[in-house]
Structure 1
Amino acid sequence: MKLNALLDVAAVAHEAEDEVTVLVDLEAPAAPVDATRAPASLQIVLDRSGSMAGPPLAGAKAALVALIRRLEPTDNFGLVTFDDSAQVVVAAGPLTDKERAVRAVESVEAGGSTDLSAGYLRGLRELRRVASAGGTVLVVSDGHVNAGLRDADEFATVTAKAYADGVVTSTLGYGRGYDETLLAAIARAGNGNHVFADNPDAAGAAIAGEVDGLLNKVVQAASLIVTVEDPVALAHLYNDLPTRQISANQLMVELGDFFGAEGRRVLMKFRVPGMAALGPARIATLELAYVELPGLIEHVVSLPVSVNVVPGDEAAGRVPHPTVRSEALFQEAQESKRRASEAFERGDVGAGEALFDEARDRLREALPIAPAGLDRDIRAELDTVDAMGGMVHDLGTAYVAKLSRESHHQMNRKRGRAPRPGD
């Protein structure tokens, strides 16, 4: 994998407290053309509660049948459904009899209430039974949980533990009635994707996209260890990624899996105290660790981050690097967008619209300084925020809350991601 870092300012003032923002660019290798793909392991956890009756469940089943057709007989696949309890519809294992699996999927019918935790925990057991190296769980749900585990933080603890054991958890929110806070928290802690699908066609496309990434995965379990030099401090991580404090001066940022040629951007701010000595000074070291597929080869790449300590009059005239500064403003807009989603979810239209205005202000500030390429991202994001703002009164706050949450996920947690094959 490629690892590069760009600083907003390369110089800091002598004996003066300062801040340095660092943009980290990551890029996975292209998928090898002639290599044999390692078997994938995918466990579906499908909501079959009463609200899924009719087109929603029919659309989900059609998407799962198409998924089964695409997998190889050596791939592990399993389907657990849930309403007020969990049911194993397709026992996890190699797809040696696809037609039998298809018939089992087509037999699923709508049931009662929504106990997502029962389905998820049963799905985890199924996946772990056949995939010692981990795999992916995709949760598909259209409703609010009304039985079993309901607290988002408690559920996130479960999915974080699963990720520590090698299981990625993604979520697909189906329709306009699901709990976006819960499903987004599950995906964040499980280092997977969170997608909103408003109708059966969108759900089918979302499930197909998730499988595209799974089948073209070239890197798994990537993490970025940030080691700061005393007394420098990591002041802020802009991306809403799972983190773990390793020691007083070390933080691990979980990046998850990468598909072929995928790129990501991670943005962080360091607080730099007054430096007594002039000249070059290291403020941090970035260490990228990952497992390369299909050979399960472990890699570690290190990159020092240094600044130049100069007299105050030299530092006074510095201009922040436009790429890093515009990316910081872009990510501040994402935070406003996430908070807008929360406001719309609780029905506070005024607060949500004000936060959309705040996001627009950040993006408009970034546009004049953005370099070629990034300016297109910013214009597209302005169009997205404007479009969502126009939907509030026509389509309702519940719809916009979900759309905004999904958009935040893509532009913040998966920032820089290249299109998946087939996108």
Structure 2
Amino acid sequence: MKMSARPEFDVVALNTSDSVLVLLEVEAPERAPGRARPPATLEVVVDRSGSMTKDRRIEGVVEALHGLVDRLDPTDRFGLVSFNTRVKVEVPAGPLLDKDSLRQRLSQVRAHGGTDLSSGLLRGVQEARRASEDRGATLLLISDGHANQGTTDHDLLREVARDAYLHGITVTTLGYGLGYDEELLGAISEGGAGSALFAEDPDTAGGLIAQETEYLLAKTAQATSMTVRGGEFVERVSMVGETPADRLDDGTLMVELGDLFSGESRRSLLRVSTAVLAEAEKRGAGEDVVLARVELTHVDPVTLASHTETLEVRVRTAWRVDRREADERVRAEELFQEARSAKRRASEAMRRGSREEAARYLRESGARIRRARMAQPFAGPGGIGEEMAGQARAMEAMARQAEDDDARRAAKTFYASGAGGTRGRGSRLFGGRDRSGESFPDSPTGEER
């Protein structure tokens, strides 16, 4: 596992408080060519309430699951739980020893009744834990509606998914159609350190299910977490943007990154707030100080061995800092994180019926990205400048969608894009797409103006 840190500035003042951004980047190991992968465990929890009969949704899911089963090896473990007002274990989780029989069972899934999502999720977690034997698993929850029975509290369901993750199960959600509750499914995926996906039609749903299968089979790091502690003169360390983090009693931040696939890159942005350095008169200008100490832990899916890397983020000190240049990549990441937050606010505005407000959030964020790109010589073709151009175009396209498109579709598009903004970015393993499905092209379609 590779880990690097880029402070916004390379120097801080000794005699004043300060605030410094730090870009942390983690890159998963590449799977060596020809190296056997360990058996994977995938548990699918699918909504079979009456609304899934609309537009042949349940048929589309079943068809996608047939393709998924074809992609898995006999030694992989697969299970299917369905739910309406009652939970049913359609396929007990286990090795795929008889794929023909399994396909017949998949084809018998029928939709009717209400939506007890919580019971389906809980039963799916039980099956995933049983089948994975503590080797780790992925749970994919697919639903097209609002939970109307069982537990519907977002925070409680987030905690269910979080507990599953603490037992080695990453939880990803796929919202299907325009009637589901994106905040509910988003809370579950956040707790489970997975993705929040959105599909309006069977073809898109099938593609996303296939994509998640590919991520599972390419996994080279699981149960990945990062802890961040401030240095000696740091008052507070916090995450920038929408990345969820827990603050421990001693002020340490803990960030759950979940599973990473071969070569995947994840970026996180910290804000480090410093105080006047104690006994500054005893220190000489130019001395290095520690802004933060970062510890990264992950489990190798093949050996189940736990690995830990540590990194100290250091900067120089000076008695006085009159002028300094911000690192362009750190500044770009701050703008990307602002864009994620703008998408989340735009989604909320669309749910309130405020199209103008949603479009304003998106356009203002896109404009800040364009201005920054014009003001700084972001490096070369295919680099961060191209990514900024692609994000600015995406923000403008979303602003137009906020003004003209179906409000429910727009709200879900913005939410999914904001929730998936750092997953897989920087990797070309899956065609330059992040795990929300948003594309950042290798070649621009035109210069930003």
Give me the TM-score of the superposition, normalised by structure 2: 0.90
Secondary structure in structure 2 of the residue aligned to 1:219: strand
Separation in 2, partners of 1:366, 1:102:
53
Which residue of structure 2 lines up, in the alignment, with residue 206 of structure 1?
208
The answer to whether the 8 A contact 1:209-1:420 is kept is: no
Which residue of structure 1 lines up, in the alignment, with residue 312 of structure 2?
304
1:65-80 residue pairs with structure 2 within 5 A? 65-80=66-81
Structure with bigger RCO (C-alpha 8 Å, 6+ apart):
1
One-letter amino acid of the counterpart of residue 388, structure 2: I
Q: CA deviation at 1:241?
A: 3.4
Instruction: Select which of 372, 377, 386 maps to 1:376.
Output: 386
Are residue 95 (structure 1) and residue 74 (structure 2) matched? no
Separation in 2, partners of 1:394, 1:317:
45
5+ unaligned residues in a row in structure 2: which ranges? 434-449
Are residue 161 (structure 1) and residue 163 (structure 2) matched? yes
Separation in 2, partners of 1:241, 1:329:
14
Q: CA deviation at 1:33?
A: 1.9
Deviation track 1:7-60 (CA, whole Å, cap 9, x = no partner) reads: 110101121110111001111111122222111111100011111104211111
Which residue of structure 2 lines up, in the alignment, with residue 142 of structure 1?
144
Q: CA deviation at 1:80?
A: 0.6
Are residue 341 (structure 1) and residue 347 (structure 2) matched? yes
Which residue of structure 2 lines up, in the alignment, with residue 44 of structure 1?
44
Which residue of structure 1 lines up, in the alignment, with residue 254 of structure 2?
252
The answer to whether the 8 A contact 1:144-1:177 is kept is: yes
Which residue of structure 1 lines up, in the alignment, with residue 440 of structure 2?
none
Are residue 6 (structure 1) and residue 6 (structure 2) matched? yes
Separation in 2, partners of 1:393, 1:239:
25
Which residue of structure 1 lines up, in the alignment, with residue 360 of structure 2?
354
Secondary structure in structure 2 of the residue aligned to 1:411: coil
Q: CA deviation at 1:333?
A: 2.0
Separation in 1, partners of 2:408, 2:309:
43
Paired residues in the alignment total 420
Deviation track 1:112-163 (CA, whole Å, cap 9, x = no partner) reads: 1111111111111111222122311100011111111111111101111111
Separation in 2, partners of 1:19, 1:365:
23
Separation in 2, partners of 1:407, 1:57:
24
Separation in 2, partners of 1:132, 1:191:
20
Q: CA deviation at 1:396?
A: 1.3
Deviating above 6 A after TM superposition, structure 1's stretches of 4 or more consecutive aligned residues are none
Deviation track 1:363-409 (CA, whole Å, cap 9, x = no partner) reads: 22332223331111111112212222222344311101111111112
The answer to whether the 8 A contact 2:363-2:396 is kept is: no
- Structure 1's 421 and 374: CA in aligned 2 closer, same or farther, altered over 3 A? closer
Q: CA deviation at 1:420?
A: 4.2
Separation in 2, partners of 1:160, 1:392:
32
Which residue of structure 2 lines up, in the alignment, with residue 105 of structure 1?
106
The answer to whether the 8 A contact 2:222-2:260 is kept is: yes
Farther off after superposition, 4-13 or 328-337: 328-337
Which residue of structure 1 lines up, in the alignment, with residue 436 of structure 2?
none
Instruction: Select which of 285, 291, 316 maps to 2:299.
Output: 291
Identity score, percent: 38
The answer to whether the 8 A contact 1:366-1:378 is kept is: no
The answer to whether the 8 A contact 2:225-2:257 is kept is: yes
Which residue of structure 2 lines up, in the alignment, with residue 228 of structure 1?
230
Which residue of structure 1 lines up, in the alignment, with residue 130 of structure 2?
129
Separation in 2, partners of 1:364, 1:287:
34
- Structure 1's 393 and 13: CA in aligned 2 closer, same or farther, altered over 3 A? closer
The answer to whether the 8 A contact 1:234-1:268 is kept is: no
Are residue 116 (structure 1) and residue 125 (structure 2) matched? no
Secondary structure in structure 2 of the residue aligned to 1:3: strand
Separation in 2, partners of 1:107, 1:192:
29
Q: CA deviation at 1:325?
A: 1.2
The answer to whether the 8 A contact 1:47-1:83 is kept is: yes
Farther off after superposition, 361-370 or 3-12: 361-370
The answer to whether the 8 A contact 1:329-1:365 is kept is: no
Deviation track 1:247-289 (CA, whole Å, cap 9, x = no partner) reads: 4142211111111111111111100112213321112111111
Secondary structure in structure 2 of the residue aligned to 1:26: strand
Q: CA deviation at 1:239?
A: 4.6
Separation in 1, partners of 2:349, 2:237:
26
One-letter amino acid of the counterpart of residue 25, structure 2: D
The answer to whether the 8 A contact 1:31-1:218 is kept is: yes
The answer to whether the 8 A contact 1:289-1:301 is kept is: yes
5+ unaligned residues in a row in structure 1: which ranges? none
Which residue of structure 1 lines up, in the alignment, with residue 397 of structure 2?
387
Q: CA deviation at 1:326?
A: 1.9
Are residue 19 (structure 1) and residue 19 (structure 2) matched? yes
Separation in 2, partners of 1:235, 1:336:
22
One-letter amino acid of the counterpart of residue 152, structure 1: H
The answer to whether the 8 A contact 1:323-1:371 is kept is: no
Q: CA deviation at 1:214?
A: 0.3
Separation in 2, partners of 1:155, 1:347:
26
1:400-411 residue pairs with structure 2 within 5 A? 400-411=410-421
Deviation track 1:42-95 (CA, whole Å, cap 9, x = no partner) reads: 110001111110421111110001001111111111101111111111111111
